[in-house]
Structure 1
Amino acid sequence: MKVQTKNIIISNAIPTNNGDAALVFGLADQLKRQGHNVIISTFGFSRINGIYANDYNFIKEFYDYNWLNKLKYINIFLYPFFFIFKSSFRNADLIISAPGGYINSYYGILKKVVPIIWAKCFGKKVVIYSQSIGPLNIRDKKILRFSMRFIDYVMVRDHFSHKYINEIIDDSMLHKVMRTEDAAFLLNPVTNYRKAVTEKIACISVRSWSHDERNKEAYYTMIATFTHKLIDKGYRVEFLSTCQGLNDYIDDSKVAKEIVNEYVAHAYKEKIKVNNDYYKLEELRGRLSSFDLVIGTRLHMCILSLIESIPTLNISYEVKGKECFSYLDLSDYSIDYNSDIDTAVISLNALINNRETLSEFISKKITELNIKSQEYLTNVLEK
């Protein structure tokens, strides 16, 4: 069944780092391939439009206006003016709240659901696409439960989120919740894995995580141990992340430098590079293709590596990492942020020893997921 062409706005987008860019642009590209007109309503408009203006059509997200944020809760009642005075919103057939992991109480969900509620009041179809759900505090659970009456569908990207939201919302709303996978799997996969010719190169992606009573020192020690082990096995090590290289934004290269300076033994440092350059999404994918294996803390550093068919070890700081690697049938290659060092090293050794056969498995799995993700998207558009 051919889906009728729609005017679609992807709202609540923040594609500043390459993890979020993979989600938003993967979705936008697939929608455009299906013949739809796509506009991305983004935070950080000036920066994002300056980087990607030739690739996508952007407008400024409502809460990206500083003066509106100063009005605090009053601005909730000003959102209707977006649908009155912004032709892109006025003419939209469908509002898709951008994929990601922001339906949790770390970031607060009120400003995320306000656009959805008003969109439905103006007669728009509304979908939350490929989200992780939770953890939510009592207030945010109530907000989500109330918001469900204004949403046509919520697409969740893992089994944990599916179970979590079903336990929160009313039974009459359960039919609105659908399973999908991470939206980054909509990106075209690469199936020809690079095999080391002369010098082997391993990539490590790090990040700090202060929630859930995590132990920073234990994590830093684990990363240093991985670095030592890789170099002992003949690898050069490059620290690279989806979040780096932009002023006034999260920069994981600073965490990498701290680990290398304070936790890595001096004798190993000449084999290490801390990359602090900024890359557009396709540039980062090109850079990733030069690595033989990747150890990623940020989930989308792992997913982008897997899309390149690169053997990848996930260090999971939230449940979304373990959930993703579970439905990829790669659970043995996902460890906890504060995993026991001996257990972590066993997983690293397995990654190194099984590198080539693992790449073949990943290539097939990612191709299957890419096809499934396209089917999920088409399915929800038909509905």
Structure 2
Amino acid sequence: MVKHKNTDKIKLLINNVVPLNNGDVALFYALYKKLEGAGFQVKIATYYYKLAKELYPDLPFVEEIGQYKIYMKLPFLKPLLLSLLFLFSKHYREADVLVGTPGGYINSNYNIKNSLSVYKVAKYFGKKSLIYSQSVGPLNKKDALFFQKLMDTSISYIFVRDQFSFNILTNLNISKQKFKLTKDAAFLLDFKEQASKNLKKVGVSVREWNYDGRNKESYIKLISAFIKESVNRGYTVEFISTCQGLANYKDDAKLAQEIYDNLDITLQVKTTVLADYFKFEDFYKKIEEYDFVIGTRLHMCITSLTKNIPAFNISYEVKGKECYNYLELSEYSIDYNEGSEKAMQSFTNFITNTDGIRAHLKNIMPKINKESNADFNFFKQKITEF
């Protein structure tokens, strides 16, 4: 195994990026800045390329392969034609290493064959592939076998961002030399300690989740109860999400409006639905206005925490609870359909202890950031091994 010390000679392509969700932007942007700072030549293969370039003209976006409408309507076609698509992509052909973007798309709620088959093709063309800070699972039997074979033959290394994912790879008997436990990639963002502005304002992000037998009506009642409790304590409420305001993408503002429309008028006068799209830097600045955040979108929570703003997590997938476990904030992460009594007790404890949570964040967030940077340095070494 040879290590290439001159990182500026290595061409990286971060792939599978969707830059329209500010949670995803936080993930790939944090990784991109680290890779760029390490001296690599970096390009970012993205879906929605034209809009991405319009929103972020200074980032080195290139077109992701297979983003034509036919592949969205007939997703089974893409894996069959990947070799041809790869050959026709200058950016894939010229890359030395593919780096799978951070996130949570390796589970059976999504079409993992569609998003991961490119690594098999990359291996055939002599490219190295690694994946940074992913959640893995749950996987059905078919997907588990596909992923296991891909890890054995085509993917050189993967960082997983939670213990649940680590256990899945262990149970699949994947070589322990090929994966490592890390934190969510957004913790590569520097911790920015913010003094409480005490504006008596709360940010609330919502998300509809139609998997795992979850009940939308129970979730709506939960959010409504939290809004009522917040207003009764003297706060105003703003619905805001990492994912909103774009016609051709998921829009959490629609669910927020539905919840707002069913609130009592006494709560509506204290509540606002923000429906516009925020570019990441604007979103990241906006969250400084809140005394605390209620986040269903995990990265609504994480981006707030990186600014020392307490965040109450409503976990629709295991990744939320896993993250709050290593943050030592597990008591402030509840299930999407948590029982009303337990949920409200956890939430009232959270509001009462926001000052204590801020003090805790001052201690633990720099530690998490330091660990994340150490893991990145390890990942960087893995990139340079050929």
Superposition TM-score, scaled by structure 2 size = 0.93
Residue aligning to 1:247? 247
Percent identity over the alignment is 40
Counterparts of residues 1-383 of structure 1 (less than 5 Å): 4-5=7-8, 6-54=10-58, 56-67=59-70, 73=76, 75-148=78-151, 149-168=153-172, 170-171=173-174, 173-196=175-198, 199-262=199-262, 264-383=263-382
Query: Does the 8 Å CA contact 1:311/1:359 hold for their aligned counterparts?
Result: yes
Gapped regions of structure 1 (runs ≥ 5): none
Question: How much has 1:85 moved relative to structure 2?
Answer: 4.2
Deviation at 1:119, TM superposition (A): 1.2
Give the Å deviation of 1:363: 2.9
Deviations 1:155-204 (A, max 9, x none): 10000010012212x35x232111111111112221123331xx400111
Asked if the contact 2:194/2:309 (under 8 Å) is kept, the reply is no
| Cα drift, residue 88 of structure 1 | 2.5
| Residue identity matched to 1:317 | Y
Q: Equivalents in 2 of 1:248, 1:91: separation in Å?
A: 31
Cα distance in 2 for partners of 1:332, 1:195 equals 25
Q: Which amino acid aligns with 1:86?
A: S
User: CA shift at 1:121, angstroms?
Assistant: 1.6
Secondary structure of the corresponding residue to residue 286 of structure 1: helix
AA aligned to 1:271 is: K
The one-letter code sitting in structure 1 at the alignment partner of 2:135 is S
Alpha-carbon contact 2:75-2:114 (below 8 Å) kept: no
The amino acid that maps onto 1:33 is G
2:78–2:114 Cα contact (<8 Å) kept: no
Separation of aligned partners in 2, 1:309 and 1:343: 26
- Alpha-carbon shift at residue 105 of structure 1 (Å): 1.0
Unmatched tracts of structure 2, length 5 or more: none
Query: What's the secondary structure of 2:130's corresponding residue?
Result: strand
Q: Is the 8 A contact 1:204 1:240 kept in 2?
A: yes
What amino acid maps onto 2:17 in structure 1? A
* Secondary structure of the corresponding residue to residue 335 of structure 1: strand
1:36 is displaced (CA, Å) by: 1.4
301-310 or 87-96, which deviates more: 87-96
* CA shift in 2, pair 1:87/1:63, >3 Å: closer
Q: CA offsets, 1:89-125, max 9 Å, x none? A: 2232211111111001111110122111111222222
Q: For residue 42 of structure 1, what is the amino acid of its counterpart?
A: T
- CA distance in structure 2 between the aligned counterparts of 1:324 and 1:331, rounded to whole angstroms: 8
Separation in 1, partners of 2:294, 2:195: 16
Write the deviation string for residues 45-85 of structure 1: whole angstroms up to 9, x where unpaired: 1111111122x111111121335567754543543345544
Instruction: Indicate if the aligned counterparts of 1:219 and 1:338 stay in contact, CA closer than 8 A.
Output: yes
In the TM superposition, residue 236 of structure 1 has moved relative to its aligned partner by 0.5
For the 8 Å contact 1:193–1:308, the answer to whether it is kept is no
Figure out how many residues of one structure are paired with residues of the other and give that number: 377
Residues 65 and 89, structure 2, Cα contact 8 Å, conserved in 1: no
Tell me how far apart the structure 1 counterparts of residues 89 and 271 of structure 2 sit (CA, whole Å).
Answer: 50
What amino acid does structure 2 have at the position aligned with 1:47?
Answer: L
Q: CA deviation at 1:361?
A: 1.4
C-alpha deviation, 1:345, in angstroms:
1.5
* 2: CA distance, partners of 1:133 / 1:242: 22
**1:185-231 CA distances to partner (integer Å, 9 max, x unpaired)?**
112221123331xx400111111111111111111111111111111
Cα shift at 1:381: 1.8
* Stretches of 4+ aligned residues off by more than 6 angstroms: none
Q: 1:249 aligns to what SS in structure 2?
A: coil
- 1:158, 1:324 within 8 Å by CA — same for their partners in 2? yes
User: Is the CA contact 1:9–1:96 (under 8 Å) kept in the aligned structure 2?
Assistant: yes
- Does structure 2 retain, via aligned residues, the 8 Å contact 1:97–1:116? no
- Find the aligned partners of 1:246 and 1:90 in 2 and give their Cα distance: 32
- Output the CA distance in 1 between the equivalents of 2:71 and 2:343: 47
- Opposite residue 200 of structure 2, the aligned amino acid is K
Q: Aligned with 1:289: secondary structure?
A: helix
State the distance in 1 between where 2:78 and 2:341 align. 52
Report the more deviating stretch, 80-89 or 303-312. 80-89
SS at match of 2:7: coil
Cα displacement (A) at 1:3:
6.6
Conservation of the 8 A alpha-carbon contact between 2:241 and 2:252: yes
1:190/1:363 contact within 8 Å kept: no
Q: Tell me how far 1:134 sits from its aligned partner.
A: 0.8
